[in-house]
Amino acid sequence: MEALRPLLSRASLPTHRAVTKRSWASIQRLHTSSPKPATPLPHPTAPGPPPEPPIPAASQAEDRIARKLKNAELLRRGQSLRADPAKPGTALKKRFWKDVTVEETPDGYQIFLDSRPVRTASKNILTIPLSKPQLATAIALEWDLLVSAQQALKYHYIPLTSLISRAVDISLADAQGNTKIRDDIVKMLMRYLTTDTLICWVPERNIHDAVHLEQQRDGAESLRQLQQRTAQPIINYLKAHVWPGVEIVPILGSDSIVPAKQPQMTQDVIRGWLSGLPAWELAGLERGALATKSLLVAVRLLVEWSEEFAQLQPRSEGSQSQRFGIEEAAEASTTEVRWQTGMWGEVEDTHDVEKEDLRRQLGSVILLVNGEKR
Q: Which pLDDT score is estimated for 368?
A: 94
251-299 per-position pLDDT tens digit:
765 565 666 788 999 999 999 999 999 999 999 999 999 999 999 999 9
In DSSP terms, 74 is beta-bridged to none
Q: Which one-letter amino acid corresponds to residue 355?
A: K
Report which of residues 338 and 92 the model is more confident about.
338
Q: Which pLDDT score is estimated for 332?
A: 94
Q: Which pLDDT score is estimated for 365?
A: 94
Mean pLDDT over 303-327 rounds to 77
Q: Which band of pLDDT confidence, cut at 50, 70 and 90, is reported for residue 24?
A: very low
All domains of the chain in start order, with CATH: 91-172 (3.30.2180.10), 179-315+322-369 (1.10.3580.10)
Start-to-end Cα distance in the chain: 141
Helix (H) or strand (E) holding 303: helix 295-305
Report which of residues 171 and 84 the model is more confident about.
171
- pLDDT of 149 > 90? The answer is no
34-48 per-position pLDDT tens digit:
777 777 766 655 566
Interacting residues of 243 by C-beta distance below 8 A, sequence separation 6+ = 266, 269, 270, 273
Report which of residues 6 and 248 the model is more confident about.
248
Report which of residues 345 and 248 the model is more confident about.
248
Q: Which band of pLDDT confidence, cut at 50, 70 and 90, is reported for residue 191?
A: very high
Report which of residues 219 and 232 the model is more confident about.
232
- pLDDT of 237 > 90? The answer is yes
- pLDDT of 221 > 80? The answer is no
What average pLDDT does the structure give for the chain?
80
| Strand pairing class (127-128; 108-113) | antiparallel
For the chain, the C-alpha Rg in angstroms (whole number) is: 37
- pLDDT of 98 > 50? The answer is yes
The DSSP result for 47-77, as a single string, is: SSPPPPPP-PPP--HHHHHHHHHHHHHHHHH
Alpha helices of 306-349 — where are they, by DSSP H?
326-333, 335-344
Report which of residues 257 and 12 the model is more confident about.
257
Q: Is the C-alpha dihedral spanning 7, 13, 18, 19 positive or negative?
A: negative
| Of the listed ranges 112-126, 146-160, 201-215, 232-246, the one predicted with least confidence | 201-215
Q: Which pLDDT score is estimated for 90?
A: 53
Q: Which band of pLDDT confidence, cut at 50, 70 and 90, is reported for residue 28?
A: low
Q: Which of 25-34, 191-200, 310-319 has the highest mean pLDDT?
A: 191-200
Q: Which one-letter amino acid corresponds to residue 327?
A: E
Report which of residues 59 and 55 the model is more confident about.
55
In DSSP terms, 277 is beta-bridged to none
**Cα gap 124→161, rounded to integer Å:** 12
Closest CA to 367 of 197, 133, 140: 133
